Amino acid sequence: MEWTRGRTLGRGSTATVYAATFHNSEEVLAVKSSELHRSEFLKREARILSSLDSPYVIGYRGSETKRESNGVVTYNLLMEYAPYGTLTEAAAKNGGGLDETRVVKYTREILRGLEYIHSEGIAHCDVKGSNVVLAEKGEAKIADFGCAKRVDPEFELMVMGTPAFMAPEVARGEKQGKESDVWAVGCTVIEMLTGSPPWTEARDDPLSVLYRVGYSGETPELPCLLAEDAKDFLEKCLKREAKERWTATQLLNHPFLITKPDIEQDLVSGLVSSSPTSVTDQTFWRSVEEEEEEETEELQKGSRDLDRLSLWGCYSERIGQLRCVGGLDGPRCDMEGGDWITVRARCEGTMISGSHEELIINY
Ligand SMILES: Nc1ncnc2c1ncn2[C@@H]1O[C@H](COP(=O)(O)OP(=O)(O)OP(=O)(O)O)[C@@H](O)[C@H]1O
Protein backbone atom coordinates (compact mmCIF):
# COMPACT_ATOMS: atom_id res chain seq x y z
CA MET A 1 0.00 0.00 0.00
CA GLU A 2 1.76 3.14 -1.18
CA TRP A 3 0.61 6.42 0.33
CA THR A 4 2.07 9.82 1.21
CA ARG A 5 1.69 11.34 4.63
CA GLY A 6 0.21 14.84 4.91
CA ARG A 7 -0.60 17.12 7.83
CA THR A 8 -1.49 16.04 11.34
CA LEU A 9 -5.25 15.85 11.99
CA GLY A 10 -5.17 14.92 15.65
CA ARG A 11 -3.21 13.29 18.42
CA GLY A 12 -4.42 10.85 21.04
CA SER A 13 -2.81 8.96 23.89
CA THR A 14 -1.37 6.18 21.80
CA ALA A 15 -1.52 7.36 18.21
CA THR A 16 -1.34 10.29 15.82
CA VAL A 17 -3.79 10.74 12.95
CA TYR A 18 -2.50 12.15 9.64
CA ALA A 19 -4.11 13.02 6.34
CA ALA A 20 -2.61 10.99 3.48
CA THR A 21 -3.13 10.10 -0.16
CA PHE A 22 -3.10 6.69 -1.81
CA HIS A 23 -0.65 6.75 -4.72
CA ASN A 24 -2.74 4.76 -7.15
CA SER A 25 -6.16 6.33 -6.56
CA GLU A 26 -5.27 9.76 -5.12
CA GLU A 27 -8.04 9.15 -2.55
CA VAL A 28 -7.51 11.24 0.59
CA LEU A 29 -7.24 9.02 3.67
CA ALA A 30 -6.81 9.37 7.39
CA VAL A 31 -3.92 7.28 8.75
CA LYS A 32 -3.76 6.55 12.47
CA SER A 33 -0.22 5.66 13.30
CA SER A 34 1.73 4.53 16.33
CA GLU A 35 5.13 2.97 16.97
CA LEU A 36 4.85 -0.77 16.61
CA HIS A 37 5.88 -1.49 20.21
CA ARG A 38 3.00 0.71 21.49
CA SER A 39 0.41 -0.39 18.96
CA GLU A 40 -1.61 -2.90 21.02
CA PHE A 41 -4.70 -0.66 21.09
CA LEU A 42 -4.39 0.41 17.47
CA LYS A 43 -4.18 -3.23 16.34
CA ARG A 44 -7.24 -4.04 18.35
CA GLU A 45 -9.02 -1.04 16.81
CA ALA A 46 -8.01 -2.20 13.30
CA ARG A 47 -9.35 -5.71 14.01
CA ILE A 48 -12.73 -4.37 15.09
CA LEU A 49 -13.01 -1.68 12.41
CA SER A 50 -12.14 -4.18 9.66
CA SER A 51 -15.16 -6.27 10.70
CA LEU A 52 -17.61 -3.36 10.40
CA ASP A 53 -19.36 -1.88 7.40
CA SER A 54 -21.92 0.89 7.89
CA PRO A 55 -22.50 4.39 6.49
CA TYR A 56 -22.48 5.58 10.14
CA VAL A 57 -19.09 4.09 11.06
CA ILE A 58 -15.81 5.44 9.72
CA GLY A 59 -14.67 3.25 6.80
CA TYR A 60 -11.73 0.84 7.11
CA ARG A 61 -9.19 1.02 4.26
CA GLY A 62 -6.46 -1.34 5.51
CA SER A 63 -3.64 -1.70 8.02
CA GLU A 64 0.08 -2.32 7.75
CA THR A 65 3.41 -2.34 9.53
CA LYS A 66 5.98 -0.05 7.95
CA ARG A 67 9.63 0.92 8.49
CA GLU A 68 9.87 4.73 8.20
CA SER A 69 12.85 6.49 6.57
CA ASN A 70 14.22 7.25 10.08
CA GLY A 71 14.22 3.52 10.90
CA VAL A 72 11.24 3.64 13.28
CA VAL A 73 8.75 0.81 12.72
CA THR A 74 5.14 1.99 12.83
CA TYR A 75 1.73 0.32 12.75
CA ASN A 76 -0.75 2.20 10.57
CA LEU A 77 -4.52 2.01 10.38
CA LEU A 78 -5.86 3.48 7.11
CA MET A 79 -9.37 4.94 7.23
CA GLU A 80 -11.87 7.00 5.29
CA TYR A 81 -11.04 10.70 5.70
CA ALA A 82 -13.64 12.91 7.41
CA PRO A 83 -13.01 16.50 6.25
CA TYR A 84 -15.22 18.41 8.70
CA GLY A 85 -13.57 17.52 12.01
CA THR A 86 -15.37 16.19 15.07
CA LEU A 87 -18.70 17.01 16.70
CA THR A 88 -16.84 18.62 19.59
CA GLU A 89 -15.08 20.95 17.15
CA ALA A 90 -18.34 21.69 15.29
CA ALA A 91 -20.07 22.63 18.58
CA ALA A 92 -17.13 24.84 19.61
CA LYS A 93 -17.00 26.60 16.22
CA ASN A 94 -20.69 27.26 16.53
CA GLY A 95 -20.13 29.34 19.64
CA GLY A 96 -20.61 26.58 22.21
CA GLY A 97 -23.53 24.51 21.03
CA LEU A 98 -25.35 23.30 17.93
CA ASP A 99 -28.89 24.15 16.83
CA GLU A 100 -31.58 21.54 17.37
CA THR A 101 -31.76 20.58 13.67
CA ARG A 102 -28.15 19.51 13.69
CA VAL A 103 -28.38 17.89 17.12
CA VAL A 104 -31.31 15.76 15.93
CA LYS A 105 -29.55 14.82 12.67
CA TYR A 106 -26.25 13.87 14.35
CA THR A 107 -28.02 12.01 17.19
CA ARG A 108 -29.92 9.91 14.64
CA GLU A 109 -26.70 9.11 12.80
CA ILE A 110 -24.81 8.19 15.98
CA LEU A 111 -27.71 5.94 17.06
CA ARG A 112 -27.89 4.28 13.62
CA GLY A 113 -24.16 3.58 13.92
CA LEU A 114 -24.59 2.22 17.45
CA GLU A 115 -27.64 0.15 16.50
CA TYR A 116 -25.46 -1.48 13.84
CA ILE A 117 -22.35 -2.08 15.97
CA HIS A 118 -24.47 -3.36 18.87
CA SER A 119 -26.17 -5.78 16.47
CA GLU A 120 -22.68 -7.03 15.61
CA GLY A 121 -22.09 -7.75 19.32
CA ILE A 122 -19.71 -4.84 19.82
CA ALA A 123 -19.81 -1.99 22.36
CA HIS A 124 -17.88 1.16 21.45
CA CYS A 125 -17.03 2.10 25.07
CA ASP A 126 -15.87 5.66 24.33
CA VAL A 127 -18.76 7.48 22.65
CA LYS A 128 -18.25 11.27 22.91
CA GLY A 129 -18.26 14.27 20.59
CA SER A 130 -14.55 14.06 19.85
CA ASN A 131 -14.95 10.45 18.67
CA VAL A 132 -17.69 11.30 16.15
CA VAL A 133 -16.36 12.74 12.90
CA LEU A 134 -18.18 14.60 10.14
CA ALA A 135 -17.69 12.93 6.77
CA GLU A 136 -17.86 14.10 3.18
CA LYS A 137 -21.57 14.91 3.05
CA GLY A 138 -21.56 16.36 6.56
CA GLU A 139 -22.89 13.11 8.03
CA ALA A 140 -21.78 11.96 11.50
CA LYS A 141 -19.76 8.74 11.68
CA ILE A 142 -18.55 6.92 14.77
CA ALA A 143 -14.75 6.73 14.92
CA ASP A 144 -12.01 5.72 17.39
CA PHE A 145 -12.69 2.08 18.19
CA GLY A 146 -9.60 1.94 20.45
CA CYS A 147 -11.75 1.06 23.51
CA ALA A 148 -14.34 -1.05 21.64
CA LYS A 149 -14.94 -4.64 22.67
CA ARG A 150 -17.07 -7.67 21.90
CA VAL A 151 -19.85 -8.00 24.43
CA ASP A 152 -21.44 -11.29 23.29
CA PRO A 153 -20.29 -13.23 25.23
CA GLU A 154 -19.14 -10.66 27.76
CA PHE A 155 -15.74 -12.06 28.55
CA GLU A 156 -13.63 -9.00 28.99
CA LEU A 157 -13.24 -7.29 32.35
CA MET A 158 -11.42 -4.27 31.04
CA VAL A 159 -13.09 -0.94 31.84
CA MET A 160 -12.18 1.96 29.56
CA GLY A 161 -13.34 5.38 28.52
CA THR A 162 -13.67 9.04 29.45
CA PRO A 163 -14.99 9.86 32.96
CA ALA A 164 -17.42 12.63 31.90
CA PHE A 165 -19.15 10.18 29.53
CA MET A 166 -19.00 7.08 31.73
CA ALA A 167 -22.17 5.36 32.95
CA PRO A 168 -22.49 4.67 36.70
CA GLU A 169 -21.83 0.93 36.30
CA VAL A 170 -18.64 1.71 34.33
CA ALA A 171 -17.44 4.28 36.88
CA ARG A 172 -17.91 1.59 39.55
CA GLY A 173 -16.02 -0.87 37.36
CA GLU A 174 -18.85 -3.40 37.34
CA LYS A 175 -19.51 -3.82 33.64
CA GLN A 176 -19.35 -2.00 30.34
CA GLY A 177 -21.53 -2.77 27.36
CA LYS A 178 -24.23 -1.55 24.99
CA GLU A 179 -26.19 0.17 27.79
CA SER A 180 -23.10 2.20 28.77
CA ASP A 181 -22.86 3.42 25.14
CA VAL A 182 -26.44 4.69 25.44
CA TRP A 183 -25.58 6.68 28.59
CA ALA A 184 -22.67 8.17 26.64
CA VAL A 185 -25.05 9.17 23.83
CA GLY A 186 -27.02 11.18 26.42
CA CYS A 187 -23.79 12.89 27.51
CA THR A 188 -22.87 13.55 23.85
CA VAL A 189 -26.27 15.17 23.20
CA ILE A 190 -25.62 17.45 26.21
CA GLU A 191 -22.20 18.22 24.72
CA MET A 192 -23.77 19.08 21.34
CA LEU A 193 -26.43 21.30 22.93
CA THR A 194 -24.15 23.19 25.32
CA GLY A 195 -20.67 22.92 23.80
CA SER A 196 -19.34 21.20 26.96
CA PRO A 197 -19.44 17.68 28.31
CA PRO A 198 -21.49 17.05 31.47
CA TRP A 199 -19.93 17.28 34.95
CA THR A 200 -18.12 20.61 34.79
CA GLU A 201 -15.24 19.52 37.03
CA ALA A 202 -14.37 16.60 34.69
CA ARG A 203 -11.36 18.32 33.15
CA ASP A 204 -9.71 19.28 36.41
CA ASP A 205 -10.60 16.32 38.53
CA PRO A 206 -11.63 13.25 36.54
CA LEU A 207 -11.32 10.94 39.52
CA SER A 208 -13.84 12.87 41.61
CA VAL A 209 -16.19 12.71 38.60
CA LEU A 210 -15.79 8.94 38.62
CA TYR A 211 -16.90 8.85 42.25
CA ARG A 212 -19.77 11.25 41.60
CA VAL A 213 -21.03 9.31 38.58
CA GLY A 214 -20.55 5.95 40.26
CA TYR A 215 -21.84 6.55 43.75
CA SER A 216 -23.68 9.88 44.21
CA GLY A 217 -26.99 8.84 42.65
CA GLU A 218 -26.90 11.99 40.50
CA THR A 219 -27.45 12.26 36.77
CA PRO A 220 -25.85 14.97 34.60
CA GLU A 221 -27.48 18.38 34.76
CA LEU A 222 -29.72 18.92 31.72
CA PRO A 223 -29.44 22.15 29.72
CA CYS A 224 -32.04 24.72 30.73
CA LEU A 225 -34.80 25.68 28.29
CA LEU A 226 -34.91 22.18 26.90
CA ALA A 227 -38.06 21.14 24.99
CA GLU A 228 -40.10 18.38 26.70
CA ASP A 229 -39.31 15.73 24.07
CA ALA A 230 -35.56 16.46 24.26
CA LYS A 231 -35.69 16.28 28.07
CA ASP A 232 -37.55 12.97 27.95
CA PHE A 233 -35.06 11.60 25.39
CA LEU A 234 -32.13 12.49 27.66
CA GLU A 235 -33.85 10.94 30.65
CA LYS A 236 -34.27 7.66 28.72
CA CYS A 237 -30.51 7.65 27.97
CA LEU A 238 -29.41 8.71 31.44
CA LYS A 239 -31.21 6.16 33.63
CA ARG A 240 -28.77 5.22 36.37
CA GLU A 241 -29.93 1.59 36.18
CA ALA A 242 -28.41 0.17 32.99
CA LYS A 243 -31.36 -2.20 32.47
CA GLU A 244 -33.83 0.70 32.42
CA ARG A 245 -32.02 2.61 29.68
CA TRP A 246 -33.57 2.51 26.22
CA THR A 247 -31.71 0.70 23.45
CA ALA A 248 -30.37 2.48 20.36
CA THR A 249 -33.29 1.05 18.36
CA GLN A 250 -35.88 2.29 20.86
CA LEU A 251 -34.26 5.73 20.96
CA LEU A 252 -34.39 5.99 17.17
CA ASN A 253 -38.20 5.82 17.56
CA HIS A 254 -38.35 8.43 20.34
CA PRO A 255 -40.51 11.53 19.57
CA PHE A 256 -37.42 13.79 19.90
CA LEU A 257 -36.06 12.13 16.76
CA ILE A 258 -39.10 10.94 14.81
CA THR A 259 -41.24 14.07 14.93
CA LYS A 260 -38.56 16.06 13.13
CA PRO A 261 -38.08 15.48 9.39
CA ASP A 262 -35.01 13.58 8.23
CA ILE A 263 -33.00 16.46 6.84
CA GLU A 264 -31.81 15.56 3.37
CA GLN A 265 -30.72 19.09 2.63
CA ASP A 266 -27.03 19.81 2.58
CA LEU A 267 -25.78 20.64 6.06
CA VAL A 268 -22.19 20.94 4.87
CA SER A 269 -22.60 24.67 4.28
CA GLY A 270 -22.12 25.59 7.94
CA LEU A 271 -19.09 23.34 8.38
CA VAL A 272 -15.45 24.27 7.92
CA SER A 273 -13.55 21.75 5.86
CA SER A 274 -9.86 21.04 6.11
CA SER A 275 -9.98 19.21 2.77
CA PRO A 276 -7.34 19.88 0.16
CA THR A 277 -8.64 21.41 -3.05
CA SER A 278 -6.17 19.14 -4.82
CA VAL A 279 -3.46 16.75 -3.78
CA THR A 280 -0.92 19.47 -4.46
CA ASP A 281 -2.65 22.01 -2.21
CA GLN A 282 0.29 23.42 -0.26
CA THR A 283 -1.60 24.57 2.82
CA PHE A 284 -3.04 21.12 3.27
CA TRP A 285 -0.04 19.05 2.33
CA ARG A 286 2.50 20.72 4.57
CA SER A 287 5.70 18.78 4.51
CA VAL A 288 6.46 16.33 7.26
CA GLU A 289 9.68 18.28 7.97
CA GLU A 290 7.65 21.47 8.46
CA GLU A 291 5.37 19.69 10.94
CA GLU A 292 8.29 18.18 12.79
CA GLU A 293 9.97 21.58 13.03
CA GLU A 294 6.81 23.09 14.46
CA GLU A 295 6.47 20.26 16.94
CA THR A 296 10.05 20.72 18.13
CA GLU A 297 9.43 24.45 18.60
CA GLU A 298 6.29 23.71 20.56
CA LEU A 299 8.12 21.30 22.80
CA GLN A 300 10.92 23.82 23.30
CA LYS A 301 8.38 26.35 24.44
CA GLY A 302 7.39 23.65 26.87
CA SER A 303 3.98 25.10 27.59
CA ARG A 304 2.00 22.00 26.71
CA ASP A 305 4.30 19.75 28.69
CA LEU A 306 4.24 22.02 31.70
CA ASP A 307 0.45 21.93 31.65
CA ARG A 308 0.54 18.20 31.42
CA LEU A 309 3.06 17.91 34.20
CA SER A 310 1.08 20.09 36.56
CA LEU A 311 -2.06 18.16 35.71
CA TRP A 312 -0.20 14.95 36.22
CA GLY A 313 1.00 16.20 39.60
CA CYS A 314 -2.60 16.47 40.83
CA TYR A 315 -3.61 13.29 39.15
CA SER A 316 -0.85 11.07 40.50
CA GLU A 317 -1.44 12.44 44.00
CA ARG A 318 -5.10 11.42 43.76
CA ILE A 319 -4.15 8.02 42.44
CA GLY A 320 -1.73 7.68 45.33
CA GLN A 321 -4.62 8.38 47.70
CA LEU A 322 -6.84 5.88 45.93
CA ARG A 323 -4.09 3.36 46.09
CA CYS A 324 -4.14 3.59 49.88
CA VAL A 325 -7.93 3.55 50.05
CA GLY A 326 -8.83 1.20 47.26
CA GLY A 327 -5.74 -0.87 46.62
CA LEU A 328 -4.79 0.27 43.12
CA ASP A 329 -1.92 -1.91 42.18
CA GLY A 330 0.77 -0.04 40.30
CA PRO A 331 -0.88 2.34 37.84
CA ARG A 332 1.03 2.80 34.64
CA CYS A 333 0.77 6.23 33.09
CA ASP A 334 0.86 7.25 29.50
CA MET A 335 1.70 10.92 29.04
CA GLU A 336 2.08 10.91 25.27
CA GLY A 337 -1.41 12.11 24.40
CA GLY A 338 -2.34 15.65 23.44
CA ASP A 339 -4.43 17.32 26.09
CA TRP A 340 -5.40 14.29 28.03
CA ILE A 341 -4.02 11.47 30.04
CA THR A 342 -4.59 7.77 29.85
CA VAL A 343 -4.20 5.81 33.02
CA ARG A 344 -4.05 2.08 32.99
CA ALA A 345 -4.25 0.35 36.30
CA ARG A 346 -4.81 -3.13 37.57
CA CYS A 347 -7.48 -2.55 40.17
CA GLU A 348 -8.80 -4.32 43.21
CA GLY A 349 -10.98 -2.98 45.97
CA THR A 350 -13.19 -0.02 46.58
CA MET A 351 -13.24 1.85 43.32
CA ILE A 352 -13.36 -1.10 40.98
CA SER A 353 -15.15 -4.15 42.25
CA GLY A 354 -13.76 -7.57 41.39
CA SER A 355 -10.12 -8.25 41.00
CA HIS A 356 -7.59 -7.81 38.23
CA GLU A 357 -9.71 -5.59 36.09
CA GLU A 358 -8.10 -2.91 34.05
CA LEU A 359 -9.24 0.69 34.25
CA ILE A 360 -8.36 2.86 31.29
CA ILE A 361 -9.34 6.48 31.65
CA ASN A 362 -9.36 8.97 28.80
CA TYR A 363 -9.24 12.49 30.07
N1 LIG B 1 -11.07 9.38 9.84
C2 LIG B 1 -10.69 10.59 10.29
N3 LIG B 1 -10.76 11.66 9.46
C4 LIG B 1 -10.38 12.89 9.89
N5 LIG B 1 -9.90 13.15 11.12
C6 LIG B 1 -9.80 12.13 11.99
C7 LIG B 1 -10.20 10.80 11.61
N8 LIG B 1 -9.98 9.98 12.67
C9 LIG B 1 -9.49 10.76 13.64
N10 LIG B 1 -9.38 12.04 13.25
C11 LIG B 1 -8.87 13.18 14.05
O12 LIG B 1 -7.84 12.70 14.90
C13 LIG B 1 -8.21 12.88 16.29
C14 LIG B 1 -7.69 11.70 17.10
O15 LIG B 1 -8.27 10.50 16.61
P16 LIG B 1 -8.72 9.32 17.56
O17 LIG B 1 -9.74 9.82 18.53
O18 LIG B 1 -9.11 8.15 16.71
O19 LIG B 1 -7.32 9.02 18.26
P20 LIG B 1 -7.03 8.53 19.71
O21 LIG B 1 -5.57 8.34 19.79
O22 LIG B 1 -7.86 7.34 20.04
O23 LIG B 1 -7.52 9.81 20.50
P24 LIG B 1 -8.34 9.97 21.84
O25 LIG B 1 -7.40 9.50 22.84
O26 LIG B 1 -8.62 11.46 21.93
O27 LIG B 1 -9.59 9.15 21.79
C28 LIG B 1 -9.72 13.00 16.27
O29 LIG B 1 -10.22 13.72 17.38
C30 LIG B 1 -9.96 13.73 14.95
O31 LIG B 1 -9.72 15.12 15.12
Residue 252 main-chain phi, psi, to 5 deg: -65, -20
Distance 321 CA to ligand 1 centre (A): 32
The preferred substitution site among 3, 87, 133 for testing ligand 1, maximizing ligand atoms within 8 Å of CB, is 133
Write the residue with the smallest CA distance to atom 28 of ligand 1.
10
Which of 1.10.1760.20, 1.10.510.10, 3.40.50.970, 1.20.58.1880 is the CATH number of 85-363? Answer: 1.10.510.10
Cβ neighbours for 160, distance < 8 A, ≥ 6 positions apart: 125, 126, 147, 176, 358, 359, 360, 361, 362
pLDDT in tens, 331-348: 233 333 333 333 333 333
pTM (2 d.p.): 0.80
Q: Which of 3, 1, 82 is nearest to 279 (CA)?
A: 3
* ipTM field: 0.95
- As a whole number of angstroms, the distance between CA 54 and CA 124 comes to 14
Among the listed residues 99, 126, 205, 229, the single catalytic one is 126
Distance 235 CA to ligand 1 centre (A): 29
CATH class of the domain at 3-82: alpha beta
pLDDT in tens, 298-322: 444 433 333 333 333 334 344 334 3
Domain(s) of CATH 1.10.510.10: residues in the chain: 85-363
Per-residue confidence at 159, pLDDT binned at 50, 70, 90? confident
